[in-house]
Copies of this chain bind each other. A is one copy, B any other.
Amino acid sequence: ILGLFSKIYGFFREAWRLGMDDPKKFFHCFKVGIALSLVSLFYYMRPLYQGVGGNAMWAVLTVVVVFEYTVGATLCKCLNKATATFLAGALGIGVHWIGSHFGEKLQPIFLQGSVFVLAAAATFTRFMPSVKARFDYGVLIFILTFSLVSVSGFRVGKLFEFASHRLSTIAIGTSICILTSILFCPVWAGEELHNLIQTNMEKLADSLDECVAEYFRKDARSEASNKISVGYRCVLNSRATEESLVLFSFTNYASIAQANFARWEPAHGGFNFGHPWKEYRKVGASLRSCAYHIEVLNGSINAGTKAPDFLKKHFSKFCMKLSSSSSAVLKELVFVTHTMTRSAKIDIIVEEMRSAVEELQIVLKSLITQPINASTNINIGNEESDASNTSMSLIEIAPLVTLSSLLIEIAARTEDIAKAVNELAN
Contacts and interface: CB of A to CB of B under 8 A. Distances in A.
A161 to B, nearest CB: 14
Nearest to A17: B128
A117 B148 contact: no
B401 A406 contact: no
Contact of A115 (B19, B36, B390, B408): B36
A35 to B, nearest CB: 9
Contacts of A264: none
A143 B250 contact: no
A295 interface: yes
Contact of A393 (B25, B253, B366): B366
Given A40-B115, A147-B36, A299-B409, A26 B369 contact: no
Q: How many copies does the complex hold?
A: 2
Contacts of A318: none
A128 B40 contact: no
Contacts of A11: 128, 130
Contacts of A366: 393
B120 A33 contact: yes
Interface in A92-143: 108, 111-112, 115-117, 119-121, 123-125, 127-128, 130, 140, 143
Interface of A: 11, 14-15, 18-19, 25-26, 28-30, 32-34, 36-37, 40, 43-44, 49, 54, 56-57, 60-61, 64-65, 108, 111-112, 115-117, 119-121, 123-125, 127-128, 130, 140, 143-144, 147-148, 151-152, 154-155, 245-246, 248-250, 252-253, 289, 292-293, 295-296, 299-300, 303, 361, 364-369, 371-373, 375-376, 378, 390-395, 397-399, 401-402, 404-406, 408-409, 412
Given A29-B124, A32-B120, A398-B401, 5 more contacts: A18-B128, A40-B115, A364-B393, A372-B390, A401-B405
9 contacts: A11-B130, A15-B128, A26-B124, A37-B115, A249-B250, A300-B409, A365-B393, A365-B395, A371-B371
